[in-house]
Amino acid sequence: MSDISAADLVFSDQANHNFSRILADLKRSNLSISNRLSSIRQDADFVDEVAAALGRPLVANERCGSWYVAPASKAGSAYFKSTDGHTGQWKFSTRRLNLHLLSLIGEHDGCIIVDSTRRGKRMPDALSKTVPIWCCVLSRVLFPDDPSLHNLYVPPNAVSSSEQSQMLARIPGFVESFRRLGIDAAALRARVEKPLRPMWVTQETRLVPADDDDEIFASFHPVVCCTSSRRVEGTEMSEGGYIQGAGDDTENWALGLTAPLWWAHAEELLAAPEGDLPGIIARLVAQPAAESSGGSTDAGGTTRLTKYISVGRLTTEKTAGSPHCCRIELLPEATKAEDWVQSGSHMRIGVGKHKVASRNLRPALPQICSFVSEFLSKDSPSPGEDDQRQILVTCESGRDISVGVALALFCYCFDDGGNVRDPSAEKRFNKDMIRVRLGKIMTTMPEANPNRATLQSVNSFFMDWR
């Protein structure tokens, strides 16, 4: 019998089909929940090493960063979006100011911002470009008289000199946009002693103890951008189960598991077989647990945005409430408009969830604003009396839809001095006014995170208002 060569082998169409299916199955098995959680734990260990070496507090860049930072080690959260650093789309967000980080940076001479990115990239755009833009803008605002402190620093192994030049050309416009918000720059300057400068750490970086680097940081506060995940050049199948950026895109794999739940039950989850994980996660998610938003809240779980307006999370507890308090509850299921008004000081508005809620907010805002304006008019204090009027807006998260409604009320019912507007006074609204008021809210409540669709509904209401 003669030898058979590779040219003599014939595969049927069915065999080719099975081969493709086998490859797909292998890829899915490598991207399993257990592999993801194991990868997250490995990367979290690296983050701990960075914190120990540099001696700066850890800040999770939400949402992904919190998967890599244990709650006991987490000094705060930030909201730097990668989309604000995409090539040609560079932006300094006046919606996500992150000014609360200045106090932390000034107190500890810097901080470490933790994030990750998926396979194929060295670091996320949020760390390579969005944070550098933020540092540059704030350094120019806080130290306007020293041009030597106004440089834009970017990682040369991730951002080309051409892109850096294009980003730098937009910085003066970003500075002007920030100044138009009317935020007290002197008060911000009091929080820091030096300008801000980004630095970058990856798993390829040689870590040097902070004591050896103190002289390097003498002229600036380091904002260390830590990419938690190891860079994977090929496919996950070649990495022994390791997944780069495993904590990203949780809506596609986590089955409702959140970063706080992960850290509270990490040992149980890591020890469980893959087949048992969906059931364990379902049990953990179903358990009632109050996840802290990490913000500054009062004893009642609400955050005071202005003298009159507070926001918070929906609660099932029945409370009598103050006779001088107007409550606006935004429910995660849609309800009919004729059922919204519960009393002269209470509305329950069913707008739905997520993007649907943001869209449904637009037609609901006229009724909400008119309702609160009427309440403020009827409950106006007599001369000499203390003004006890309060407006409490709640939603499922306490950080998105409720903040959008609070912004609308702040513009519609109150003047530039923050005083209750005379209902008979002429009302004029523009984007600058809305942007300035949003800046004040975000400065007071940095953990607030109204999404783009929510703010678009607010803008649409005022731009179309007559």
Residue 416: per-residue pLDDT: 84
First to last CA, the chain: 92
The total number of structural domains that make up the chain: 2
Is 188 in the same domain as 99?
yes
**Domain identity same for 346 and 210:** no
Whether 258 is in a domain gets the answer no
User: What pLDDT, on a 0 to 100 scale, did the predictor assign at position 211?
Assistant: 61
pTM of the model: 0.81
210 shares a domain with 311:
no
Mark whether 310 and 453 lie in a shared domain.
yes
Q: Would 372 be classed as within a structural domain?
A: yes
Q: What is the CA radius of gyration of the chain?
A: 26
What are the pLDDT digits (tens) for 362-414? 999 999 999 999 999 887 777 767 788 999 999 988 989 999 999 999 999 99
Is residue 165, in this structure, part of any structural domain at all? yes
Which positions of the chain have pLDDT values less than 70?
1-31, 210-214, 234-240, 288-300, 316-321, 384, 465-466
Same domain, 127 and 220: yes
Q: Rounded distance, CA 269 to CA 250, Å?
A: 16
One domain for residues 91 and 222: yes
In this predicted structure, what is the pLDDT of residue 295? 36
Task: Provide the CATH number for the domain around residue 458.
Answer: 3.90.190.10
For the stretch 261-303, pLDDT in tens is 999 999 999 999 999 999 999 999 988 644 433 333 343 578 9
Please state, in angstroms and rounded to a whole number, the distance separating the CA atoms of residues 259 and 69.
9
Same domain for 205 and 352: no
Residue 185 lies in a domain: yes
Dihedral pair phi/psi, residue 75, rounded to 5°:
-85, -15
**In a shared domain, residues 190 and 55:** yes
| 238 and 312 together in one domain | no
List the domain range (segments joined by +) for residue 214: 35-245+266-271
Q: Are residues 210 and 330 in the same domain?
A: no
Paired tokens of 341: 């008004």
